[in-house]
Every structure is written in C-alpha cells, then in structure tokens.
Amino acid sequence: MIKSLSFTRLVALSTSIIAAGLLALATPHTVHADTTTQATVEFSMPENAAVSIKAMPNLDFGTKQITTSGADYTADSVSAPVEVTNPGFQEGWTLNVEASNFATADQSRSIKGAELTFAHTDVNPTDDTNISAKPTTEQAGTTIQAGAAGATLISADKGAGIGTYQANYTPSSVSLHVPAGNVAADYSANLNWTMTNSLA
C-alpha cells in the first residue's frame, strides 16, 4: 500500500511538472523594442514666388442721368472677381486699390470729388480644403477718392491668407459717388491694384 501511494504521487507530480512546462511554453513574452520611425518632407518655394493678384474687375456704371444733387450710383456690371494668391509666405499681405480721376478721353473734363466704394464682402478660398485662415475685407467697406491715394481692399494677417482666394463683388456692392456741380460727359478712370507682402 505504501509503495502504491508513492508511485501515484510520483505520477501526479510528473504530470504537474509537464503541465507547468507546457503552460510556460504557451505564455507569450512581451518584447520591448523601439517602434518609432520618421516621415520627413521639405517644401521649397517656386522660383520667383510672390504674393500676387491674378484677376481684377472692370467696373461699368452704364449710362446715368446727371442731377443737380449729389448722387450714388451702383455698378451695372463687375466683370470678374478679385483673385489673389499667396504660394506659401506666412508674413501676411495687403491688396490696395487706387483710382485715377474720372476724365473724358481728351482729359478736358473730370468728375470733381468722385469716390468709389467697395462694400464689405467675404473672401473665400478657391480650394474648399484650404485650412489657412481667410483674408478679410474692411468691415465698413473701402472708399477711395479718385485721383488720390488708394486704400486697402483686402488684407491677411500673419500666417493667414495662404493659397488662392476670391472676393466676388456684385454690382450692388460697388458704388460711385458723384457730388453736385459736375457736368454731363463720358468719363473713365484707371484702377491700379497693388498687392504686397507685409515684410516687403
């Protein structure tokens, strides 16, 4: 009886050792390793890159009747949006516009005191996926006196306005002010658009 019991315990002990060994072999071991890699890229600016204006409108105020009082006339048509582009400069930029005197073809007459006003409008990227902060127009609009210094129409803060943007002015958002005392004639003015990098 004693010998039989010892043999049974020996068999049980052997079975336990084998099971423990198999369990140890089946248990996965955590391997500690450096799993960090890198992805790199370098962007270079295109040759002769610059902030620039790509499109600008002609303004047609049509034929109006002269009055004995000062009057404001909205445009009949605005031929194109104002389109500006910044290929990747982060310093910010401004777009200024100025108007020459509204004068006849022979320069013998001009509209005295003429003013052009561009109302506030949104400036939106041409690419809907653009993540840059948008440029803005003046909240109160921009008024320029013909024959005098221009004024800022659109501006972008530092780090904003990167990409291509358009400001779509409708005819009703552009107006011409003509003071009383001017005479009937056919007038035209040149618009000069200047876009500059803020560090220029």
CATH code of 124's domain? 2.60.40
5 domain residue, yes or no:
no
**What single string gives the DSSP state of each residue in 159-192?**
T---EEEEE---GGGEEEEE-TT------B--EE
Q: Which pLDDT score, from 0 to 100, does residue 15 have?
A: 54
pLDDT surpasses 90 at 19 = no
pLDDT surpasses 60 at 11 = no
E strand or H helix at 93? strand 93-99
Q: Number of structural domains, the chain?
A: 1
43 domain residue, yes or no:
no
pLDDT surpasses 50 at 85 = yes
Q: Pick from 98, 135, 129, 136: which is nearest to 114 by CA?
A: 98
> What is the rounded distance in angstroms from the CA atom of residue 80 to the CA atom of residue 55?
7
Residue that wins the pLDDT comparison between 82 and 67: 82
pLDDT surpasses 90 at 170 = yes
Q: Bridge partners of 143?
A: 117
Q: Report, as an integer, the average pLDDT of 78-100.
A: 95
Q: Which pLDDT score, from 0 to 100, does residue 25 have?
A: 55
127 domain residue, yes or no:
yes
Dihedral sign from CA coordinates of 97, 103, 106, 108:
negative
Q: Copy the structure tokens of residue 177.
A: 């002010």
Q: Which pLDDT score, from 0 to 100, does residue 2 have?
A: 47
Q: Which pLDDT score, from 0 to 100, does residue 34 have?
A: 75
Q: Which pLDDT score, from 0 to 100, does residue 32 have?
A: 67
pLDDT surpasses 90 at 39 = yes
Give me the domain span that covers residue 100: 52-197
59 domain residue, yes or no:
yes
Q: What is the pLDDT of residues 110-129, one digit of tens each?
A: 999 999 999 999 999 999 99
